[in-house]
Amino acid sequence: MIIVMRKEATEAQINHLVEKLKEKGLTAHISRGTERTIVGAIGDERVLQAVPLEAFPGVEKSVQILQPFKLVSREFKPEPSVVSVGPVKIGGGHFGLLAGPCSVEDWESLRETALKIKASGANLLRGGAFKPRTSPYAFQGLGEEGLKLLARAREETGLPVVTEVMNVNQVELVSRYADMLQIGARNMQNFDLLKAVGQGTKPVLLKRGLSATIKEWLMSAEYILSQGNYDVVLCERGIRTFETYTRNTLDLAAVPAAKELSHLPVVVDPSHATGRRSLVGVMARAAVAAGADGISIEVHPHPEDALSDGDQSLLPEEFDQTVKALEPLLRIEGKKW
């Protein structure tokens, strides 16, 4: 249930309502919009059936949220959310351009990539220190050493770092080095991990699961917000279908659908979605046209030698060309970075 406060409602009136909700065993979440302040009452709403909410000072009306995802819904927060990752903003007209290697392999290649993507216009550095791989014999990442290299690259370039956290035990460690925590597709429904990052203060990039519906994706985001962390960005990275030519099937309709249902920003990962270097640029442009709030692209100076996902990694000069092709589309969409 959401409780809409009057324009002139005071902080004392809002706090009074919140305390009453807590007394009823509910959790109160406050959303402050440009026009109204909304209080979300989360829990067993049956306890409010006999409570005259409209009689509380400062309350305009109460409305049932029909969607199973409450805090993520447009009903709870009608205007788009803007998530800050260091000085970079994503959502609400601000565009996030994430780029970097699939895996952090060594300092030389990471430094070269970071410097070149920044020169091309990237505003966030992505790279994996812990890598969930299908094969147990594949490269699993450098672990904390990879995190240290990412932090070193941030010091040299000024680019905030986005990297994956794979389990609850890694949250504190990765949070020490990263500016944004990524929840990978395989962990989208790792609910203990979602709760753990929800209890932290770092923004979260939540990738859609390989076979997840949009509703399941948003419910996973709800886990994070329900713990108090509202800085969540959704990432469409392709879903598993019968098609074998591409690595996954990029569900571009999920971008406007998720933005219609939720206030959270949505970015697209055309690298994992297609698995083919030749398709990344055109699908990045399509994602911008579909309304995406950002793009995540894998870039490697020597993809033929990459320890993971070389087939889908752009060369730095190809990334530069891709960014140039995105610029007129971003102007049309009224987005900036």
pLDDT tens by residue, the chain, 337 residues = 889 999 899 999 999 999 999 988 988 999 887 778 999 888 887 888 878 888 999 999 988 887 889 999 999 998 999 999 999 999 999 999 999 999 999 999 999 999 999 999 999 999 999 987 778 877 888 899 999 999 999 999 999 999 999 999 999 999 999 999 999 999 999 999 999 999 999 999 999 999 999 999 999 999 999 999 999 999 999 999 999 999 999 999 999 999 999 999 999 999 999 999 999 999 999 999 999 999 999 999 999 988 888 899 999 999 999 999 999 999 999 998 7
d(CA 116, CA 319): 9
Q: What is the mean pLDDT of the chain?
A: 94
How far apart, in whole angstroms, are the C-alpha atoms of residue 27 and residue 246?
44
Residues 270-309: tens digit of each pLDDT: 999 999 999 999 999 999 999 999 999 999 999 998 888 8
Q: Give whole-number Cα distances, 261 to 61, 76, 201, 218, 269, in Å.
A: 22, 11, 25, 9, 20
CATH number for domain 83-333, candidates 3.40.50.11540, 3.50.50.60, 3.40.50.300, 3.20.20.70: 3.20.20.70
Residues 88, 336: Cα–Cα separation, whole Å: 11
| Cβ–Cβ under 8 Å, residues 73 and 262 | yes
- pTM for the whole structure: 0.91
Partners of 88 in the β-ladder: 85
User: What whole-number distance in Å separates Cα of residue 174 and Cα of residue 187?
Assistant: 16
Pairing assessment for the beta strands 37-42 and 2-5 based on DSSP bridges: antiparallel
Domain 2-63 has CATH 3.30.70.1140: yes
> What residue segments make up the domains of the chain, in order of their start?
2-63, 83-333
- Note the Cα 147 to chain centre separation in Å: 20
Report pLDDT digits (tens) over 39-77: 988 888 788 887 888 899 999 998 888 788 999 999 999
Cα(81)–Cα(72) distance, rounded to whole angstroms? Answer: 10
- 262: its two tokens: 């939720």
φ, ψ of residue 89 in degrees (nearest 5):
-110, 145
pLDDT at 45 (0 to 100): 78
CB of 306 closer than 8 Å to CB of 300: yes
- pLDDT recorded at residue 222: 97
Residues 6+ apart with CB under 8 A from 48: 1, 24, 26, 41, 62
